[in-house]
Amino acid sequence: MPQDTNPPTLRVGMVGYAFMGAAHSLAWRTVGRVFDPPLRPELTALCGRDAGAVRAAADRLGWAHTETDWRALVERDDIDLVDVCTPGDSHARIAVAALDAGKHVLCEKPLANSVEEAEAMVAAAERARHRGQQAMVGFNYRRTPALALARRLVAQGRLGTLRQLRIGYLQDWLTDPDHPLTWRLRREAAGSGALGDLGAHAVDLAQHLSGQRVVGVSGRTHTFVTERPLPDGSGATGAVTVDDAAQFTARLEGGALASVEVSRVAAGRKNALTVELYGDRGALTFDLERLNELRYHDHTLDPAEAGFRRIQVTEPTHPYLEGWWPPGHGLGYEHTFTHQARDLLDHLAKGNRPSPSFEDGLQVQRVLAAVEESAASNSVHTPV
């Protein structure tokens, strides 16, 4: 539990206040009440284009001040860190400007809408690092305690040599063809569809959990609903310019094979993230719909006794659980963002490069681009 101390303040400014903005706001407000971080986050200013809406959001989410222009927020002297929770088309502009203005940056995933934008962000992060500023990309599922435990077990060699990975991330919110044409369905705003939105998480987890980079991919993407109603209620329709679903196989630098399937039109699946890791000494499986559980098979045991066993990841010795509830009391989706905030605060206080870094985000972007290139040319591609 938090100690009676007064750590230095980290003044946070955030751009965007919808889904991710709400999740990040809750994390910034909660982290110091659960853990004992070396810095105390202060919710200084929230930015959005609509003055009335951003003020209402600030009051609801706990922010002291508001701005309607992200440039004004970046230029404020009372901001130490800029938290970017906007659509992907503005990530590079905001993050680069914030880093060049001497701010730390936390940017939601995917890092950018293109490899070129991500490379510019990495260059800005490198310049800023020499001045003492740090940058991190927000892959929150790394901070699920069960997946953090999976990473620990893989690193300990409990699975032996990894041979295969299977990751699926399926949702159904675009199954209805009458769902309106929001920004997530336009390439100029979102960069890509299910591939960038969900595939970014899958690629990051594949590389993070295995400790290996993807070095080759072969992929397919598809758009099942090509026209959708415009959100203005006019009855007119517009073209969907991103994918609804994607599938790809990948080769990791250690020789393991991975298969990834992502979809936003998988009827009945709300947020179904599943992970399977298979090695020559054991296996691990995870299901986000049972996020406090990890299933582990030790292949070195007598076959008469071996099999998958359930690990209930709620013990205080499990990752991140020391600050929460007694064993058996599960956590939820929102806690992954609190853990993300705690880790970032620790990195900033120590002057360490945060993980996942912008470089990690760029690597994910390269893999996603290679999948799109493979799908377009019906060939195998290498992330570059």
**Is residue 362 pLDDT above 80, yes or no?**
yes
Fold for the domain defined by 9-140: Rossmann fold (3.40.50)
Using alpha carbons, list the distances in angstroms from residue 281 to 230, 254, 284: 53, 16, 11
- The pTM assigned to this predicted structure is 0.95
In whole numbers, what is the pLDDT of the chain averaged over residues? 96
Stretch 202-224: mean pLDDT, rounded?
A: 98
Instruction: Identify whether the C-beta of residue 40 lies closer than 8 Å to the C-beta of residue 8.
Output: yes
Which residue is listed with tokens 């020391």? 322
pLDDT band at 5; cut points 50, 70, 90: low
Q: Please count the other Cβ atoms lying within 10 Å of the Cβ belonging to residue 10.
A: 22
Residues 6+ apart with CB under 8 A from 196: 88, 110, 113, 190, 242, 368
pLDDT number for residue 382: 85
pLDDT band at 46; cut points 50, 70, 90: very high
**Is residue 254 pLDDT above 90, yes or no?**
yes
pLDDT number for residue 2: 47
Fold for the domain defined by 142-377: Dihydrodipicolinate Reductase; domain 2 (3.30.360)
Residue boundaries of the structural domains of the chain: 9-140, 142-377
Query: For the CA atoms of 275, 278, 284, 287, what is the dihedral angle to 10 degrees?
Result: 20
Which letter does DSSP use for residue 325 in this model?
P
Instruction: Convert the pLDDT of each residue in 166-183 to its tens digit.
Output: 999 999 999 999 999 999
Stretch 221-226: mean pLDDT, rounded?
A: 98
pLDDT number for residue 1: 46
Same fold, 9-140 and 142-377: no
Pairing of strands 65-67, 40-47: parallel
Instruction: Identify whether the C-beta of residue 247 lies closer than 8 Å to the C-beta of residue 275.
Output: no
**Is residue 363 pLDDT above 80, yes or no?**
yes
